[in-house]
Structure 1
């Protein structure tokens, strides 16, 4: 179900909220006002009507309605448009034996049409717009600098969600490192956990890596529009966060690859140890077989048909088996 919300600020002070949807163009036409309109779960007809009223680019409207779209930032004649995704890790997702490893990275899409003095956000219901609105209210003194403050607050909330998601994956990988060298851990568990971490990182990188292009596009738009310089420090900090989360995901990918290779090496090492133990015990067991087989010949030998002959053969078995056991223990084969 489509829902809408709206706010209007003048000189950083809120002057209107939740005005009728038909008044969007009137508020955007006021040069001394800063307007925000939020459209949650929009239908095609609503956006088509809005596009006709505000001269929105049809390609941008199509991207806003698409369920899955690559993060991007594009400039058009009358407005700028970008699509980004907030991230969330579902730690309660359980693997289905029939379907394999479950998808844990949940992506919440939000698109924005940026005008000279207003922003229209188009989002999925899962995206927490209340968090963005709270950021704007907590930094209401910045709103007097125009639409750049709204854009920064929105992108900052998205990048912070990326940080949170990467932190969750980082913690999961650290837990996996502890399990990796646990001899009592089940090998299948480590393999599934490693594959899950790699899969989560691949999904997260799809929305994290393009953020540099999105923020760069917004920065170029601000320079071309001669936007107020008071927000430059905030955007520099935002760009730094984008770089940090990108580098973090890259380092985690390298770490997961190292874990995967280490797990394979440990499996090979454990298999070699098992083969050593089997070979050692086979050699020890071969001793009584050889001795009893030798003394079982149908020819007379020392102790043949005598009780002390039995004791002699048993002693030989025990002595040779003990010698082999000591030798294998020294070589760490047992």
Structure 2
């Protein structure tokens, strides 16, 4: 089965800015571990189409791990805005700096060593070791889970069925061309064995597919129903001085948007308390900011006033208009800025 899938991949591999295609790989071109690592971190919880432009911008601005390690945190966070999960961006920087400082700018080439780096979990370690270093590691993302569930007609719902699906996937992982195989099975899930209306007629694994034989392929994989996301509310306070300086805060290192610049504000909860950063005649703007995080929806009301000629209140900072760059803000804070700008 792995041979059939590799033959299909040789003819149908998707072109991606981080990928070394099967023909080039057969000719001896090796993937850049930095580009594989960066793409895999970006691809968590999102799609190839959403990541392409981000990846090109990142690698144009920071072409190798040493360049990324030297980048200012706010610039990296600003480029990351829109990809979500800012903890991944913080770990991206931590990992780049560990690889630069402790590994002479070279990613380790084994699963166990990769797993010790910041922000690299079992999936990412397996993907890097397989794709970048051709190690026979089993890569299990959502596409592979779907392919394995259908091949074996497994009806136990995710996430509980992950161990069984990984065991099945490991049984197909070959010693020959494991990096190409890992990409082949992911491509199959993304382009043929799709979540809806799988194209079984052109699938290289249609004959041994147990779900196709049973007519259950469209129902798999089953998933445990998710709880509905709650909605939280909050207040944001934007103050600008006459010379264009802005009042901002650095969020705590831990927690949502940790370590990032943003506007002072209240907590995010069902019934937030108004908490302006200083006494002034604040006015509320019409409209509101809506944003969705992984576990909840957020609705923010925006307040504004003129920033007086004084030092910043405790815990806050004043950035002059030349130092302030809206693109360095996380997406939800940039939405608030856009609403304020359009008042």
Which structure carries more helix by proportion?
1
TM-score, normalised to structure 1, is 0.23
Which structure carries more strand by proportion?
1
Which structure has more relative contact order (CA 8 Å, sep 6+)? It is: 2
TM-score, normalised to structure 2, is 0.22
